[in-house]
């Protein structure tokens, strides 16, 4: 007995899933597209979407229209699983920032805060000495 497979061509469901995976709310998505939230809801229920609208949607989601058309949740989990367990995966994802630069940034910020705290404590000590 075969189980019914979901329609893999249902573009609206793919858009919905990509939007959710990206952490974008429907309302925010609607604003970015310049349409109403109700229209986004209808788009996500549509099996097919016009190519020009698909391009706009892809742009907002930060993917290509081909990426939406070829989206597969199974593939996403396979990529995540492969990268988590096996770093030799043929799919390489790179950080969009240099972690060392971020570390240095945080260190510099903490250093400034520490210096401000130290200066404040010195002022308190001076005030206490003067008040005696």
Residue that has been written with the tokens 């788009």 in this structure: 43
Task: Name 97's Cβ contacts closer than 8 Å, sequence gap at least 6.
Answer: none
- Could you say which of 1.10.540.10, 1.10.260.40, 1.20.58.760, 3.10.129.10 is the CATH number of the domain covering 11-85? 1.10.260.40
Instruction: Spell out the domain ranges in the chain.
Output: 11-85, 95-132
**pLDDT by residue (tens digit) across 89-120?**
444 555 566 778 788 888 888 999 999 999 99
Alpha-carbon Rg for the chain, nearest whole angstrom, is: 25
Both tokens of 11, joined, read: 């573009």
Rounded to an integer, what distance in angstroms lies between the CA atom of residue 124 and that of residue 116? 12
* Full DSSP string of the chain: -PPPPP-TT-HHHHHHHHHHHTT--HHHHHHHHTS-HHHHHHHHH-S---HHHHHHHHHHHTS-HHHHHT--HHHHHHHHHHHHH-TT-S-----SS-HHHHHHHHHHHHHHHHHHHHHHHHHHHHHHHHH-
* The pLDDT value given to residue 4: 43
pTM: 0.53
Q: Which of 28-32, 70-74, 120-124 has the lowest mean pLDDT?
A: 70-74
* The pLDDT value given to residue 57: 93
């Amino acid at each position: 007995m075969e189980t019914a497979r979901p329609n893999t061509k249902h573009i609206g469901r793919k858009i919905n899933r990509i939007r959710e995976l990206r952490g974008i709310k429907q309302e925010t998505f609607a604003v970015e597209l310049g349409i109403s939230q109700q229209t986004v809801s209808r788009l996500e229920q549509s099996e097919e979407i016009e190519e020009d609208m698909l391009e706009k949607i892809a742009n907002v989601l930060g993917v290509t229209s081909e990426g939406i058309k070829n989206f597969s949740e199974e593939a996403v989990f396979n990529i995540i699983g492969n990268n988590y367990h096996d770093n030799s995966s043929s799919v390489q994802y790179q950080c969009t920032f240099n972690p060392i630069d971020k570390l240095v940034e945080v260190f510099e910020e903490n250093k400034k805060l520490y210096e401000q705290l130290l200066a404040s404590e010195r002022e308190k000590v001076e005030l206490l000495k003067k008040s005696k």
